[in-house]
Amino acid sequence: MASSIGNENSVNPVLRISQLDALELNKALEQLVWSQFTSCFHGFKPGVLAHFEPEVKAFLWLILWRFTVYSKNATVGQAILNIQYKNNLSQTENYQPLSKHQKLWYLIFTVGGRWLEERCYDLFSNCQLQSFCKIKSYINFGAGLLKFCGLLNFLIFLQKGTFATLTERILGIRSVFCKPQSVRQVGFEYMNRELLWHGFAEFLIYLLPLINIQKLKLKISSWCLPIAGLSNSEKTLTAHCKECSICGEWPTMPHTIGCSHVFCYYCIKSNYLFDMYFTCPKCGSEVRSLQPLKYKIEMTELHT
């Protein structure tokens, strides 16, 4: 249907951003298809697809090509953005669909090229023979040359706005709109939200180091979990405080700070060194004196 509509009207050039968006959508679809396919093999032995991964990927991309470019003259990303390929080798301005040769060569350059690159990497990665090393160097040189040509093509694309990929330029296939397009409206709501959140994150990064989180947490815990009604005698201290008021474990080398609570020596010492205004997280008392507990707390009291 898209082809019939395009035949009646002259073609409409596609914006650069729309062509790049279509390429990104194609990559996202391929990743989605591959992740869904590999999830079917989670119950199998690990690495069951490792030896045949290039062939499996090529088969999946072949299926995608069959139901997109071959049948509709457009990739999935292009179809979403109302774009399709036009045979730019034709002399007419009206829409001309791709020929079968162009579609087959598109398959060879895209699917076959990626399969060849992955398979050659697997074949020559473990080979140490001199002949294989020479072949590998030639293949690396060819791959680097293609990437350089792709870079040049991308720079030309940014200037002229046609042929986003090297394959499109070689085959003479051009992206055009299926229907006449109005001026693309660019919304800045997403950008505004991103700028707002980035500014808020930078503010927090600047503010958080200035806040004594440990003291604030202990203060809140003293409000939420108040303990009252304990006598100040050391016998009551040993009878009721069988855990450190900071770590909650059995107190190691128990010490007091002048209130009716017990602390591990290392817990209270480290917190006091970190904050000279440290207060008890249970009752909020300040550290008057750090004294060891005179009465021993026996481990057998846990079971009483």
Pairing of strands 255-256, 291-292: antiparallel
Strand partners, 291: 256
d(CA 279, CA 284) in angstroms, rounded, equals 5
Higher pLDDT residue, 294 or 64? Answer: 64
Confidence of residue 126 (pLDDT cuts 50, 70, 90): low
Positive/negative CA dihedral, 91, 95, 98, 102:
positive
In the chain, the domains with their CATH numbers are 16-181 (no CATH), 239-295 (3.30.40.10)
pLDDT at 295: 56
Which tokens is 81 given?
Answer: 């953005």
pLDDT tens-digit readout, 245-302: 778 777 778 888 877 778 888 888 887 777 777 777 777 777 777 777 765 544 444 4
pLDDT cut 90: percent of the chain above it: 15
Residue 205 reports pLDDT greater than 50: yes
Per-residue pLDDT at 105: 93
pLDDT recorded at residue 127:
57
Residue 138 has pLDDT above 70, yes or no: yes
What single letter denotes the amino acid at residue 166? Answer: L
Helix (H, G, I), strand (E, B) or coil at 89: coil
- Digit-coded pLDDT (tens) for 158-203: 999 889 999 999 998 988 887 665 555 556 777 788 888 888 888 8
Beta strands in the chain (DSSP E): 12-13, 83-87, 173-177, 255-256, 291-292
> Band of the pLDDT at 104, cuts 50, 70, 90?
very high
User: What per-residue confidence (pLDDT) applies to 244?
Assistant: 81
Q: Does the predicted TM-score (pTM) go above 0.95?
A: no
Q: Per mean pLDDT, which range of 84-98, 149-163, 240-254 is the poorest?
A: 240-254
